[in-house]
Structure 1
């Protein structure tokens, strides 16, 4: 079977990254942080462009912090991925189930109005503190961040791709947890008892 390739040079693509920022309240209420864009009247996920010299991972964490006001870290999950384990040669590429993975779990492509192709790499994260910082957004941003139940979040998100991404992230978090959700969030004890 022939493969299809398309080349984009650096002036024709945008690299973007973001996180689906989850917290667990009272050990049972899985909540997702979503953004209300006050200028456009839309609900979106936190993401943004990678800076020059910045890794995709660092961009995802930075953009999520800037847009939500919450410092965060990647949430190690059980993930199906085609990324090989270090030092393992997989040919042809096979799907592996990897525990404690912090790889991107999804990528969204978007053809922009100026003709450039945008690639948005998505990670799953958790807050490192219950404190929400103020004035973290750039001048061009106008977001109100809200942690809401995952069902509410999926229902509010304005575009289908974000809803699909949030649904997949939820599935990843809930499927691989033999010890329950609390075990997954155990390392962020200060977040476990967050109210509202």
Structure 2
């Protein structure tokens, strides 16, 4: 039996968890703003985070991202289409399409995937699919988000400075560049 020449790691369903998140933009004003979550657990210093959470079984990843953003921030939103380089194929492609990076307009696909090793005695990973979302501008006042979070819109550069984790900064930087390039 042949073995793949590519390094491969396989995980059973008990060894991985899937999450989805989105960078929530407000593009209605003269400057782009992004929503961050502030989490202050008890006496410890608080953290500035991006909205994300576990996907329900049977739930499309993009729907999970929108649900989690609305649950955590209170803001209804929709996926925001961007111009993006990707290795996905177009539905109109025929035959054997080369596996190369191509740029497409108006994509609402994940723009980034985080693979977080969870540790423990067995291999466990968390897969986080990242999307870009825009707050709905129908004038609807948002509901209250989850109690442990305070949602705040701010200038993109301020958000980059506030985020607690470098990985979140990297995700936000990529999202900003995609929105600016669309």
Give the structure-2-normalised TM-score.
Answer: 0.88
Unaligned 5+ segments in structure 1 are 177-196
Q: Does 1:147 align with 2:153?
A: yes
**Aligned mates of 2:5, 2:105 — CA distance in 1:** 32
Tell which deviates more after alignment, 161-170 or 36-45.
Answer: 36-45
Q: 1:107 aligns with which of 104, 107, 113?
A: 113
Q: 1:2 aligns with which of 2, 5, 11?
A: 5
Q: Does 1:132 align with 2:142?
A: yes
Q: Which secondary structure does the structure 2 equivalent of 1:14 belong to?
A: strand
How many Å apart are 1:95 and its aligned residue?
0.7
Q: How many residues align?
A: 171
Equivalent residue for 1:63? Answer: 68
Q: Does 1:13 align with 2:21?
A: no
Q: Does 1:37 align with 2:47?
A: no
User: Do 1:34 and 1:46's aligned partners in 2 also have CA atoms closer than 8 Å?
Assistant: yes
Which segments of structure 1 move beyond 3 Å, counting only runs of 4 or more?
Answer: 89-92
Unaligned 5+ segments in structure 2 are none
**Aligned mates of 2:107, 2:15 — CA distance in 1:** 31
Root-mean-square deviation (CA), in Å? 1.7
Q: Which secondary structure does the structure 2 equivalent of 1:80 belong to?
A: strand
User: Do 1:84 and 1:90's aligned partners in 2 also have CA atoms closer than 8 Å?
Assistant: no
How many Å apart are 1:56 and its aligned residue?
0.8
